[in-house]
Amino acid sequence: GITYLDHAGSALFPESLLKAFTDDLRSNVYGNPHSQNISSKLTYDTIEHVRYRILQHFHTTAEDYTIIFTSGCTAALKLVAEAFPWIPEGTKQPSSRFCYLTDSHTSVVGMRGITASMNVLSVPIKPKEILLTERNRLPAEQQNCTTPHLFSYPAQSNFSGTKYPLSWIRDIKSGKLCPIKIPGKWFVLLDAASYVSSSPLDLGVHQADFIPISFYKIFGFPTGIGALLVNNRIAPLLRKTYFGGGTAAAYLVGEDFYFPRKSIAERFEDGTVSFLDIIALKHGFDVLEKLTGGMEKIKQHTFVLAHYTYTVLSTLKYANGAPVVRIYSNTDFSNPDVQGPIINFNVLDENGEVIGFSQVDKMAGLYNIHIRTGCFCNTGACQMHLGISNEDIQRNLQAGHVCGDDIDLVDGRPTGSVRISFGYTSSFEDAQAFLKFIIATRLSKMDTEIPLQSSVTKLTTESVPDDNADKLSPIPHISDREVRNNSSVTRMTGSWQPPEAEVESIRAALSETAVPTRRRGGKPITVTNIYLYPIKSCSAFEVTEWPVGNQGLLYDRNWMVVNQNGVCMTQKQEPRLCLVNPSVDLKKKIMIIQAEGMDPISISLEENTGKEAVICESKVCSHRVKTYDCGEEIAGWFSMFLGRPCRLIRQSSDMKNKLHQKNTKASTTNISLSLVNEAQYLLINVASILQLKEHISARLEEPLEIEELIRRFRANIVISAPESFEEEEWAEISIGALRFQVVGPCSRCQIICIDQQSGERNKEFLQSLSATRGRKTNFGIYLMNQPLRSSLPDILLVGSQVLPVLKENTEIQPPTSSEEKCSG
């Protein structure tokens, strides 16, 4: 099963929450709360009940706080920035300031964009500086200024789990602490989104002025609803310019007259609120209380897991005494009042060098462990803990790194880290599964035992009750499946055979136009295999010669299988796709699809441009493509074979996928792609395969067939070169008359762990590749082609000579795309 360790990203919802919610919807009719009928009145009353339930959860009442529903914490923060009673620069009064802790979420820092447009200055405050701000206290004669200032800080860092003192609220509002030395009255925005997912918040004691939250962080469902809790003492000062449906008591169309509703909540909730999601919150609170006994028990439960994991993780060492991880924390995980259930770290090698977070993420995926990597929308904390300067951020951007991509190292220095986090549904087994993964991948040759929980912590807590009647909702996960070995997946050749006269003329053209540019001392390099994959992520179709189109090999990855939501399915989610064998018959203009236990089915190669074609848009690795559905018959065939609803779609010629590599030459930027992830072609070298084969065979202690390895890497072109990995030093190649530019290396994903004959997984393959390549998972190179402008078709043939041109700088270039470059 899955080990889910991204509770700081989102909680997991229990099945009973969904059941209670759907039972409610079946039993009641909920209308628009702005209407006056019976069902609408029920909705309005239920929403008001939920407001009271939220206030109760945070130990406060409607006398002190108002609940304004938003789409999430980010929308709540934006509302504060827009509505706060700022006094801009250039007026007779002292101007306002917006101060925020540098260890803040992007959505908090982004508020400065709004304040800047209002001519209000923003000032970042480092965590260490806030403790020194007593020296900023103003003399008594300056404390009567009423200019409003706003200070924002997180109750818990979403990066490291550090809990900042809630006492700051009182100290800043009283003037004991002053973020900066300026006359005025300070208000406090407490970003509680991360904190309230695992800790109780008592607003009766810690009376912040604004508290934004997102409910999916607490319950996991619903995901589109948040709230801003506003202290009623500041609420009347908030300003609002736009007014939407439901917010006006009265207004005129022909004159500038508008009178807002009296209720602060109704005044700021523009339009119809997401009322069914709000109703779901009631069941979220009910289920949470029933399963856990309250937030204090969740706090203790999650902290014990984090404390245990931290203790073991921090003691892991290599044989030379070097630590296995570098943990980024401001605490020693000894007190749940100052540390939340988040552990942030980077994995190191024996020499103390950081192993990139994307490599750790890929390895974790092999063990079905779900973690979070990057900077977690908290650049300030990332810079502080990893020692990344402002100049480094700008240089990394120039190098092609952006937030959320997989470029984890630039000049050997990390651009981010790894984060694990626990929630109320987490278990001791989850912590152990993670630690076993770290030990297996870093200390596999050492006799390392994971200590029991009791041996590393004396903390006691009541764990979350194990309610067998209320298991977690089913999570789509990739499990090893028992599938029969498909011995029928054999080498196949295309049925297309050009006339002999044309073949001879083509070969003559090849010999005349090829430029004999050889690398030094090189033996001849030839093409040994050609594969196309008509259906993305399905089995290979091997040919000895094949026409080349303007998107690569003709019909390569022109089709793909999607789930019931229209999302592309790959072998990562459905390994049995490799057991689907498509073959293309160019003479009959059909594609034949076969699988064991299924009757063969065929579809036409001619594109369906009729009115009956259902045009839809889909995405391949975040890139938009236009496709059309291939019909009910083939959809039923795939659904029956895979045992889940799915459909076959084909790329439409109306909109081709454009090449999205950033380091390509201008002359090739208009080249279009099929449904591939990265480039038109993928090339691998048999010599490189053989070197990898030795390492894997040694680790598995069993022989491997070269054919099996070749198929795992799902290349289009396989060549035989004298030296392993020499292909990574090439800038361009010629194969006969065809010219190819090398786009970059292919960074591999877990698909290479899937046996393409059986669909079975073995995580050793990606681990061995990483070990062989010095922590990298690059294998093979991407190519793009500019077809010859000739009346003759461009043909790629097995046995053709490959003529490479070396790079001027032979260092292997890092990937420039944010996508994981699996071959699909």
This prediction's pTM: 0.77
Query: Last residue of a domain, which of 267, 291, 315?
Result: 291
Report the pLDDT averaged over residues 206-225: 96
Alpha helices in 293-366 (DSSP H): 295-315, 357-366
Q: Kindly state whether residues 407 and 304 are assigned to the same domain.
A: yes
In a domain, 707, yes or no: yes
pLDDT at 612 over 80: no
- Helix (H) / strand (E) containing 629: strand 623-629
Sequence-separated (6 or more) residues with CB below 8 Å from residue 128? none
In a domain, 493, yes or no: no
| Start-to-end CA span in the chain (Å) | 24
Give dist(CA 408, CA 335) in Å, integer.
32
- Comparing 425 with 495, the larger pLDDT belongs to 425
- As a residue count, the chain comes to 824
Report the pLDDT averaged over residues 768-793: 77
pLDDT 10s digits, 97-147: 999 999 999 999 999 999 999 999 999 999 988 876 666 676 666 667 889
Q: Kindly state whether residues 556 and 423 are assigned to the same domain.
A: no
pLDDT at 503 over 50: no
pLDDT of residue 93: 86
- Residue 559 is which amino acid? W
Q: pLDDT band for 476, please (50, 70, 90 cuts).
A: very low
529, 540 contact by CB (below 8 A): no
Burial of 141 (0-12, 13-18, 19+ CB in 10 A): exposed
Q: Helix 275-292 crosses helix 295-315 at what angle (to 10 degrees)?
A: 70
pLDDT of residue 134: 63
pLDDT of residue 445: 53
Q: What CATH number is attached to the domain comprising 106?
A: 3.40.640.10
Q: Kindly state whether residues 545 and 628 are assigned to the same domain.
A: yes
Give dist(CA 261, CA 263) in Å, integer.
6
In a domain, 469, yes or no: no
pLDDT 10s digits, 272-281: 999 999 999 9
Is the Cα torsion angle 530, 681, 757, 584 positive or negative in sign? negative
pLDDT at 498 over 60: no
pLDDT 10s digits, 662-696: 444 434 445 667 777 678 999 999 999 998 888 88
Q: Kindly state whether residues 285 and 349 are assigned to the same domain.
A: no
* Cβ-based neighbour number of residue 260 at 10 Å: 16
In a domain, 466, yes or no: no
Is 753 among the residues known to form the active site? no
- Comparing 428 with 512, the larger pLDDT belongs to 428
Burial of 613 (0-12, 13-18, 19+ CB in 10 A): middle
Query: Last residue of a domain, which of 291, 310, 333?
Result: 291
Report the pLDDT averaged over residues 79-89: 97
In a domain, 448, yes or no: yes
Of the residues 99, 377, 746, 749, only one is catalytic, namely: 377
Q: Kindly state whether residues 52 and 178 are assigned to the same domain.
A: yes
In a domain, 813, yes or no: no
Q: What CATH number is attached to the domain comprising 370?
A: 3.90.1150.10
Burial of 103 (0-12, 13-18, 19+ CB in 10 A): buried
User: Which domain, by its residues, includes 438?
Assistant: 295-455
Q: Kindly state whether residues 307 and 286 are assigned to the same domain.
A: no
Structure tokens at 175: 């003037």
Report the pLDDT averaged over residues 418-444: 93
Q: Please, how many CA atoms are within 13 Å of residue 185, restricted to the half-sphere of its CB?
A: 12
Residue tagged 């070990």 (tokens): 771
Q: pLDDT band for 697, please (50, 70, 90 cuts).
A: confident
Spatial CA neighbour of 325 closest among 191, 247, 419: 419
Per mean pLDDT, which range of 393-407, 531-545, 768-782 is the poorest?
A: 768-782
Structure tokens at 230: 């506003």
Report the pLDDT averaged over residues 553-571: 90
pLDDT 10s digits, 230-268: 999 999 999 999 999 999 999 999 999 999 998 999 999
Alpha helices in 223-356 (DSSP H): 264-268, 275-292, 295-315
Q: Percentage of the chain with pLDDT > 90?
A: 65
pLDDT at 458 over 50: no
Per mean pLDDT, which range of 463-472, 524-533, 578-587, 639-648 is the poorest?
A: 463-472
Report the pLDDT averaged over residues 53-75: 97
In a domain, 15, yes or no: no
pLDDT 10s digits, 783-821: 998 655 555 668 999 999 999 999 875 443 333 443 444
Tell me what the pLDDT averaged over the chain comes to.
84
Q: Kindly state whether residues 523 and 447 are assigned to the same domain.
A: no
Give dist(CA 95, CA 233) in Å, integer.
21
Q: Kindly state whether residues 164 and 78 are assigned to the same domain.
A: yes
Sequence-separated (6 or more) residues with CB below 8 Å from residue 529? 542, 710, 715, 717, 718, 798
Q: Kindly state whether residues 79 and 98 are assigned to the same domain.
A: yes
DSSP annotation string for 658-703 = EP--SS--GGGTT-EE-S-SS-SEEEEEHHHHHHHHHHHHHHHTS-
pLDDT of residue 663: 42
Report the pLDDT averaged over residues 66-75: 97
Report the pLDDT averaged over residues 639-655: 87
* Cβ-based neighbour number of residue 506 at 10 Å: 20
Query: Last residue of a domain, which of 265, 291, 317?
Result: 291
- Residue 182 is which amino acid? I
Give dist(CA 415, CA 404) in Å, integer.
10
pLDDT 10s digits, 333-352: 999 999 999 999 999 999 99
Quote the number of domains for the chain: 3
pLDDT 10s digits, 710-757: 999 999 999 999 999 999 999 999 998 889 999 989 988 888 999 999
Q: Kindly state whether residues 581 and 698 are assigned to the same domain.
A: yes
pLDDT of residue 145: 86
Structure tokens at 44: 């309005």
Q: Kindly state whether residues 206 and 341 are assigned to the same domain.
A: no
Give dist(CA 90, CA 11) in Å, integer.
46
- Residue 370 is which amino acid? H
Q: Kindly state whether residues 77 and 181 are assigned to the same domain.
A: yes
Structure tokens at 664: 């390509």
Q: Please, how many CA atoms are within 13 Å of residue 288, restricted to the half-sphere of its CB?
A: 32
pLDDT of residue 452: 60
- Residue 312 is which amino acid? V
pLDDT of residue 490: 27
787, 794 contact by CB (below 8 A): yes
Per mean pLDDT, which range of 29-43, 375-389, 776-790 is the poorest?
A: 776-790
Longest Cα–Cα distance in the chain: 101
Structure tokens at 707: 């054919």
pLDDT of residue 125: 96
Residue tagged 């900077």 (tokens): 375
In a domain, 349, yes or no: yes
Give dist(CA 344, CA 331) in Å, integer.
12
- Comparing 217 with 679, the larger pLDDT belongs to 217
- Comparing 565 with 754, the larger pLDDT belongs to 754
